[in-house]
Amino acid sequence: MSGHAGIRIEGLTKRFGERVVLAGIDLAIAPGERIVVIGPSGTGKSTLLRCLAFLDRPDAGRIAVGDLVVDAARASRRQILALRRRTAFVFQNYALFANKTARQNITEALTVVKRMSQAAADAGADAILAEIGLADRGDAYPAALSGGQQQRVGIGRAMALEAELMLVDEPTSALDPEWVGEVLDLLERVAAHQTMLIVTHEMQFAREIADRVLFMDGGRIVEEGPPEAIFGAPQDPRLQAFLRRVG
């Protein structure tokens, strides 16, 4: 289900104009590993995820997913598509296809990108709808779903891809507090058999789910380690200050 050969990121760099948002990120992710990225706003956490899926185009660096190696500076259209097809993305604002039902949101990529038959895709979607607790809402359009339901469909859409790496960008930041729990519960279940890179402000969740926590500041990974170390014995003063602020 999850990754095979792991993911390697080397020297990933991104500038917006003069501003350096990613100042050379190096990171290796083992198959099945769950990595949570924390840090102050505007330190490049989301940009890191977006660059890995080329939603923002990185300026330099290398991304390797299994046997696919992409040199950011000269990535071809074909390579970008290939990379995107090996990753799945869960968006902060859900970004469900507005003209597709919940079920179609899940099947769309399966039939169009993976060229699965409609019947097979529908069967897969029904299984996922049941897993995300929306078995009876498959025919609903996103506009008719609550924020929590929409994000669960967003996660279901990503699950269906059986990607080697799932990128999860602040999955609960846009949610009303009442829906946060159900989304985090689902993510925790999915993470049991999925390689994941998650950006979140939910520290309790990070503590529970992460094999490894990265603390980013100023476009760099400042400190990393298992959650017990990061939250229990933070070394860098910036991390200490950050943890004091977020309580």
Partner 1 sequence: MVVDLEYMAGLVPVILRYVPLTLEMAVISMAIALVLAAALAIVRVLKVPVLDRIVAVYISFFRGTPLLVQLFLFYYGLPQLLPAARSIDGVTAAVIGLTLHFSAYMAESIRGAILGIDRSQWEAGAAVGMTELQLMRRIILPQAARVAAPTLLNYFIDMIKSTSLAFTLGVTEMMGAAQKEAAGSFRYLEAFLVVALIYWAIVEALSFVQRRMEVRLARAFAR
Contact mark string toward partner 1, 43..72, x via CB under 8 A = ----------xxx-----------------
Tell me which stretch binds partner 1 (CB under 8 A): 94-102, 178-186, 188-196, 237-245.
Answer: 94-102
Of 140 and 222, the one with the shorter C-beta distance to partner 1 is 140
Min dist. Cβ of residue 157 to partner 1 (A): 7
Of 91 and 205, the one with the shorter C-beta distance to partner 1 is 91
In sequence order, which residues have a C-beta less than 8 Å from that of residue 236 and are 6 or more positions away? 215, 222, 223
Min dist. Cβ of residue 85 to partner 1 (A): 4
Strand pairing partners for 68?
Answer: 65
Strand pairing partners for 198?
Answer: 36, 168
Q: How far is CA 66 from CA 110, 177, 240, in A?
A: 21, 37, 35
Residue 237 tokens read as: 């003063």
Min dist. Cβ of residue 154 to partner 1 (A): 8
Min dist. Cβ of residue 242 to partner 1 (A): 28
Of 1 and 112, the one with the shorter C-beta distance to partner 1 is 112
Query: What DSSP string runs through 185-242?
Result: HHHHHHHTTS-EEEE-S-HHHHHHH-SEEEEEETTEEEEEE-HHHHHHS--SHHHHHH
**Candidate list 87, 150, 172, 195; residue touching partner 1; CB under 8 A:** 87
Of 137 and 238, the one with the shorter C-beta distance to partner 1 is 137
Min dist. Cβ of residue 159 to partner 1 (A): 12
> Is 143 a binder of partner 1 (CB under 8 A)?
yes
Closest C-alpha among 146, 129, 131, 194 to residue 168: 194
Query: What DSSP string runs through 29-50?
Result: E-TT-EEEEE-STTSSHHHHHH
Near partner 1 in 159-198, by CB under 8 A:
161
> Is 116 a binder of partner 1 (CB under 8 A)?
no
According to DSSP, the β-strands at 60-65 and 68-71 are: antiparallel
Closest C-alpha among 140, 150, 156, 53 to residue 94: 150
Given the rule CB under 8 A, which residues bind partner 1? 53-55, 81, 84-85, 87-89, 91, 93-101, 108-109, 112-113, 139-144, 157, 161
